[in-house]
Amino acid sequence: MAKAMKPKFDWESQIRNKGLRATKSAVLVLKTLQHLKKPLSHDELLEYLNQSTSFDTVTLYRILDRFTQTSLIEKILGSDRISRYRYPQGDHYEFFECESCHQHFQLPRSSPLLNLLDQVNHQLKSKGISEFAISFNVQGTCQTCKTIS
């Protein structure tokens, strides 16, 4: 029996549908953010990309700016005042941010906060509002930092 193949995602079309050029660099950035599934700063993303290829810092800033402007990715301002970028996962995909180490941890899908966001999402859609984003930040101290202090 043949193994079911996972459908290939058409990154180029997703970028072009937003009116942008689907360069190799742009596709690589979008794939990376989707694959890593967590918010990354420009510097963190640049370090990750430079592990496999030489990536220009200005090019990355331009790509992130264009992707943010066209809602291909989301920009989050952390408690450390550093912008982080993430690929949207469904209607919302929220994180807890440690104020000490600034790591991000995905909130459980069963979180009452996410249930509340689902209700808001449903109410907005029922009113015919379709182009919106719900962003939500939870900050505190993670278990590791709590143990250290």
Please determine, for residue 8, whether its predicted confidence score (pLDDT) is greater than 70. no
Q: Are residues 83 and 99 in the same domain?
A: no
Question: Last residue of a domain, which of 68, 89, 110?
Answer: 89
pLDDT number for residue 16: 94
What is the domain-level CATH number for residue 103?
A: 3.30.1490.190
Q: Are residues 56 and 39 in the same domain?
A: yes
Q: CA distances (Å), 13 to each of 19, 28, 30, in order? A: 10, 13, 12
pLDDT number for residue 98: 83
Of the CA atoms within 13 Å of residue 56, those in its CB half-sphere come to 7
Question: Last residue of a domain, which of 48, 67, 89?
Answer: 89
Does residue 2 fall inside a structural domain?
no
CB 15 within 8 A of CB 22: yes
Q: Are residues 81 and 98 in the same domain?
A: no
Which position has the higher pLDDT, 96 or 24?
24
* Residue 97 DSSP code: E
Q: Are residues 107 and 38 in the same domain?
A: no
Q: How far apart are the first and last CA of the chain?
A: 55
Which position has the higher pLDDT, 147 or 130?
147
What is the domain-level CATH number for residue 31?
A: 1.10.10.10
What is the crossing angle of helices 42-49 and 24-36, to 10°? 110
Q: Are residues 85 and 17 in the same domain?
A: yes
Q: Are residues 97 and 63 in the same domain?
A: no
Model's pTM, two decimal places? Answer: 0.68
Does residue 4 fall inside a structural domain?
no
Number of domains the chain is built from: 2
Range of the domain at 48: 12-89
Q: Which of 26, 29, 56 is nearest to 40 (CA)?
A: 29
pLDDT number for residue 19: 93
Q: Are residues 100 and 129 in the same domain?
A: yes
C-alpha 9/C-alpha 44 separation (Å) is: 24
Question: Last residue of a domain, which of 74, 89, 104?
Answer: 89
Q: Are residues 63 and 124 in the same domain?
A: no
pLDDT tier for residue 136 given thresholds of 50, 70 and 90: low
Q: Are residues 119 and 76 in the same domain?
A: no
Query: What percentage of the chain reaches a pLDDT higher than 90?
Result: 35
pLDDT in tens, 90-135: 545 567 788 888 777 777 666 677 678 778 888 888 988 876 666 6
CB 70 within 8 A of CB 20: yes
